[in-house]
């Protein structure tokens, strides 16, 4: 990645995160680890927070991959890089959603379906 692209990337990404967190103040606050009554509540809160954080990151990576593919200008190597970024971002989102569903399934089975 050329230096101008790196500078632009590292200037835009923090601004996007700040704007995302500033829109809804609930996301800007980290979970209070001291006030939980059980370890299960703590793990559930950390998992929810990580999923909430990982979805916007994946969407940003998908947008960057699309821009990289769009601006390839007939260069197959740049287009392939964008396509790989898109593929891995989609795989990451699938892992996030499948993992979240799998954890809910295991908890439901262990509790007897309640």
Cα–Cα distances (Å) from 73 to 68, 76, 113, in that order, read 10, 9, 54
Grade residue 70 by pLDDT with cuts at 50, 70 and 90: very high
pTM above 0.85, yes or no: no
User: Residue ranges of the alpha helices (H) in 1-114?
Assistant: 3-23, 25-28, 39-70, 76-110
Q: What are phi and psi of 102, to 5 degrees?
A: -65, -40
Query: 22 pLDDT exceeds 50?
Result: no
Grade residue 90 by pLDDT with cuts at 50, 70 and 90: very high
Burial class of residue 49, CB neighbours in 10 A (0-12, 13-18, 19+):
middle
- Higher-pLDDT residue of 31 and 78 is 78
- Higher-pLDDT residue of 4 and 25 is 4
């Amino acid at each position: 990645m050329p230096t101008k692209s790196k500078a632009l990337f590292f200037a835009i990404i923090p601004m996007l995160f700040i704007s995302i967190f500033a829109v809804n103040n609930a996301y800007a606050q980290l979970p209070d680890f001291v006030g939980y009554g059980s370890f299960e509540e703590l793990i559930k809160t950390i998992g929810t927070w990580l999923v909430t954080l990982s979805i916007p990151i994946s969407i940003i990576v998908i947008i960057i991959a699309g821009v990289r593919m769009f601006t390839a200008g007939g260069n197959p190597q740049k287009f392939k890089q964008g396509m790989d970024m898109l593929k891995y971002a989609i795989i990451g989102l699938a892992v996030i959603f499948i993992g979240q569903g799998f954890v809910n399934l295991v908890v439901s089975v262990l509790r007897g379906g309640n």
